[in-house]
Amino acid sequence: MLVAALVAGGVGGGIGYWAAGRNDTGSTTVSASGDPEALNRKPTSVSGIAQRALPSVVTIEAQGASGDGGTGTGFVYDKQGHILTNNHVVASAADGGRLTATFSNGKKYDAEVIGHAQGYDVAVIKLKNASGATLNPLPLGKSANVQVGDATIAIGAPFGLSGTVTTGIISAKDRPVASSDGGGSSASYMSALQTDASINPGNSGGPLLDAGGNVIGINSAIQSAGNGGGMGGESGQSGSIGLGFAIPIDQAKRVADDLIRTGQPVYPQIGVQVGMRESGDGATIAQTGNNGSEPVTPGGPADKAGLKPGDTITKLDDTVIDSGPTLISEIWQHRPGDRVTLTYKRSGKEHTTQVTLGQRTGDK
């Protein structure tokens, strides 16, 4: 029926043009001048930014050894052929699968996963035969300087439609988000940039740009009415309702550099197990640990700072902590070795303590 409608539309257009050609002298329409300068496509316009950025954005196709996979987006990170994207875009091809990256000019290259961080939802892939590729890395901005209301431009391949450009604003900052690809894997956590630029399945891994054309985030997750209000990057086929979330580029760059250097992600941690479902009053340290482990790691950062099972963490520095995911996303914005102030409640009384963040290497 769609084909028939398109054909009918084409035929109708042809008849209309023929009829108009039969009576040109009676036309009252006014033609545009056709002057490209009149369109005012300045380099700083959305069109100008898109034209510069699109050649550096790739559509990624991942196929696992068992045949599962999907389509996502990535962008040129450096001149060595590294492409920055989401973990959930390439995870299926990380172990023995096939990975390709297609540029806007149609050239397709085989690629390999250099490193992926499931917790951060960040991955770096590299073109296998980059000698023939034109590699112009996108300029990286400073997500720490972003303000609510700033203009945004998102580029990606929603539902496989490569080179799609949408615009919006920064709707909120430091939005705690726990996302999943819907495949049953553990969640990823981010203190995200929220944008109303239209982001759909397939946009994941693509750049979120500011008004200067600088990358301020990696598009990673959406919340849509079709998925019950849950977060997800590629989960299902639900579409955008203007609630998109991007990993801040300041964090993504640190993770990417670790992956390129060592192939492994590095996570800062305080060494506690907290409840992940309760929200509103803080992040409460569990009374008993998982699988017989201690809820406060003996000798870990939290243990050294005097934290105990049952304590409820309510602030990290000046940021209010309302849940376990918020605590994790805030900790992961820091580096191992950073010193932070934790505010917590014990037996109804409020306390503060200094914690030097430890580290964990790898996802397992």
- The average pLDDT across 59-65 equals 90
Task: List residues with catalytic annotation.
Answer: 88, 121, 204
The four Cα atoms 32, 38, 43, 44 give a dihedral, to 10 degrees, of: -100
- The arrangement of secondary structure in 50-132, i.e. its CATH architecture, is Beta Barrel (2.40)
Stated length of the chain: 364
Q: Tell me, what's the pLDDT at 248? A: 97
Residue 161 above 80 pLDDT? yes
Between CA 342 and CA 321 the distance in angstroms is 10
CATH code of the domain made up of 266-361: 2.30.42.10
Residue 4's pLDDT band (boundaries 50, 70, 90)? very low
CATH code of the domain made up of 143-258: 2.40.10.10
Residue 303 above 50 pLDDT? yes
Q: Which helix (H) or strand (E) holds 156?
A: strand 151-156
Residue 62's pLDDT band (boundaries 50, 70, 90)? very high
Q: What is the DSSP letter of 13?
A: H
Q: Tell me, what's the pLDDT at 7? A: 41
- Mean pLDDT, the chain, rounded, equals 86
Ranges 95-99, 164-168, 191-195: which has the least confidence = 95-99
Q: How many CA atoms lie within 13 A of 4 on its CB side?
A: 1
Residue 108 above 90 pLDDT? yes
Q: Tell me, what's the pLDDT at 355? A: 97
Sign of CA dihedral 326, 332, 334, 340: positive
Domain ranges in the chain are: 50-132, 143-258, 266-361
- The average pLDDT across 151-156 equals 97
Ranges 137-141, 198-202, 229-233, 253-257: which has the least confidence = 229-233
Same fold yes or no, 143-258 and 266-361: no
- Residue pair 74/84 in contact (Cβ under 8 Å)? The answer is yes
Q: Which among 117, 126, 135, 133 is positioned nearest to 218, based on CA atoms?
A: 117
Percent of the chain with pLDDT over 90: 67
Residue 90 above 80 pLDDT? yes
* pLDDT per position as a tens digit, 217-271: 999 998 877 554 333 444 445 777 889 999 999 999 999 999 999 999 999 999 9
Ranges 178-192, 202-216, 291-305, 338-352: which has the least confidence = 178-192
Q: What is the DSSP letter of 4?
A: H
Q: What is the DSSP letter of 185?
A: P
